[in-house]
Amino acid sequence: MNWRIILWPFSLPYGWITALRNLFFDLGWMNSKSYPLPIICIGNLSTGGTGKTPMTEFVLNNINPGKGAMVSRGYGRKTKGLVIANPDSTVNEIGDEPFQIFNKFPGIKMALAEKRELGIQAILKMNSADFIVLDDAFQHRHVKASYHILLSTFQDPFYSDFILPAGNLRESRKGISRADLVVITKCPDNLKEQEAQIIKNKIPGKKIYFSTIKYGSPQNSVAMQNPVAPQDFAELRILALTGIANPKPFIQHLNQKFKISEHRKFPDHHNFTQSEMDGLTKYLDENPNRQILTTEKDWVRLKSKMDTHYLKRVYFLPIELKILFNEEENFKAEIKELLENEIVGRYYFQNGQKAHDLKSDDYVLKSIEMLTNLKEYKTILSNQK
């Protein structure tokens, strides 16, 4: 039994407050603002560790690549207010997860802001994106997103969880009603369809996909001239280092592939102290034949604090999201269709036309084809404000 269940009495007022807040938004008593670009919100009902970063990377890489922008709070950054990511941005300026994404997609337009509205306005002024991915903003209802992708892990599904502090839910399970699509993340890659159906039965009325994490071979950009070959890692004893919300799947994978001598576990977005860094370098000095293996997110924080001499022996495992049951193309098509419908719906609303006239409207057909270049569409909206 989870000992936190004894905290249930404290969860009641928290649940009432979040429910009242959602009611005010639903009734229009609190303002939700729409914007002249489709916005895809990626979030969850629980407190982190559901795989938002891999999902964000998947959407940016597969939905009209090069045309997406990202707005994030930039959790863990040392800056305040609005920050626009640029090639000189550091992990302390924009946060570890945005820094990781920005380095994978160098041309992406990215804004960091506690108030997401400021970030969205900044992206709109750039006039170079066809859609915006809003990171970790399912509860940020001041922005009226076009589409909500809600993530929940296979190991800790939201329907078996409780509201904080008795559990990890930020709001009631009823919040699932706002989701347009649900992805059960971090599933075993050999998940059976019968198991998936049991989960689907517990989330009626929603389109549900299942995803897993695909791990790559150990990488280290600092040691590219003299790397440890992936096959050699299997024979080495390594120190596993994690500073993520849910390290269990990562450690399970390492145990299947490598020989773990020690696991040093830190909180999510952990800012490594000098004492902790000294401990890592001491470990490497005392164990010259061992390496450190960490997550991609931890790597971006470590490499700014560790001397290159030691960093050559710190590797990370790149990850990517994989949709199970051969439904990846359906998943991508569904999101693209959403963006297309968003364009069509807003166009017709602004012009007082009916949706069944779609096929006769050459402009709309041109606009939704491959979601390329929405400048005409944005011009129409701006002229009608």
Output the pLDDT for position 37.
87
Output the pLDDT for position 289.
87
Output the pLDDT for position 224.
55
Residue 361 has pLDDT above 70, yes or no: no
The pLDDT of 20-27, averaged and rounded, is 96
pLDDT tens-digit series, residues 50-59: 999 999 999 9
Give the integer Cα–Cα distance in Å for 71 and 120.
7
Contact 242, 263 (CB under 8 A): yes
Output the pLDDT for position 140.
94
Give the integer Cα–Cα distance in Å for 105 and 66.
8
CA distances to 61, 183, 254, 296, 377 from 216, rounded to whole Å, are 17, 22, 12, 11, 40
Output the pLDDT for position 227.
60
Q: State the CATH architecture for 3-214.
A: 3-Layer(aba) Sandwich (3.40)
- At 340, the pLDDT band (50, 70, 90 cuts) reads confident
30 DSSP assignment: S
The pLDDT of 178-189, averaged and rounded, is 95
Tell me the pLDDT of the chain averaged across its residues. Answer: 87
Output the pLDDT for position 221.
72
Output the pLDDT for position 364.
43
Q: What is the pTM of this model?
A: 0.86
Residue 385 has pLDDT above 50, yes or no: no
Q: Spell 297-316 as b/e; 16+ CB within 10 A means b.
A: bbbbbbbeebeeebbbbbbb
Residue 123, token pair as written in the block: 């992206």
- Please report, rounded to a whole number, the percentage of residues in the chain having pLDDT higher than 90: 66
Give the integer Cα–Cα distance in Å for 247 and 367.
43
- At 350, the pLDDT band (50, 70, 90 cuts) reads low
Contact 52, 70 (CB under 8 A): no
Output the pLDDT for position 345.
63
Residue 328 has pLDDT above 70, yes or no: yes
The 3-state DSSP class for residue 97 equals helix
Contact 368, 340 (CB under 8 A): yes
Q: Spell 173-193 as b/e; 16+ CB within 10 A means b.
A: bebbebbbbbbbbbbeeebee
* Topology, domain 221-317: Rossmann fold (3.40.50)
- At 374, the pLDDT band (50, 70, 90 cuts) reads very low
The pLDDT of 166-172, averaged and rounded, is 95
Helix (H) or strand (E) holding 72: strand 68-72
- At 220, the pLDDT band (50, 70, 90 cuts) reads confident
The pLDDT of 318-337, averaged and rounded, is 93
Residue 247, token pair as written in the block: 């390290």
Give the integer Cα–Cα distance in Å for 203 and 163.
18
Amino acid at position 385, single letter: K
Residue 114 has pLDDT above 50, yes or no: yes
Comparing CA positions, the residue from 319, 301, 104, 316 lying closest to residue 228 is 316
Describe the strand order of the beta sheet including 131-135 as a list of residue ranges: 83-84, 109-112, 68-72, 131-135, 39-44, 147-153, 181-185, 208-215, 319-323
Domain boundaries, the chain: 3-214, 221-317
- At 228, the pLDDT band (50, 70, 90 cuts) reads low
pLDDT tens-digit series, residues 185-218: 999 999 999 999 999 999 999 999 999 999 988 8
Amino acid at position 286, single letter: E
Query: Where is pLDDT greater, at 221 or 7?
Result: 7
Residue 225 has pLDDT above 70, yes or no: no
Comparing CA positions, the residue from 145, 182, 180, 165 lying closest to residue 50 is 182
pLDDT tens-digit series, residues 150-162: 999 999 999 999 9
What's the angle, vertex CA 264, arms to CA 260 and CA 268, rounded to 5? 125
- At 343, the pLDDT band (50, 70, 90 cuts) reads low
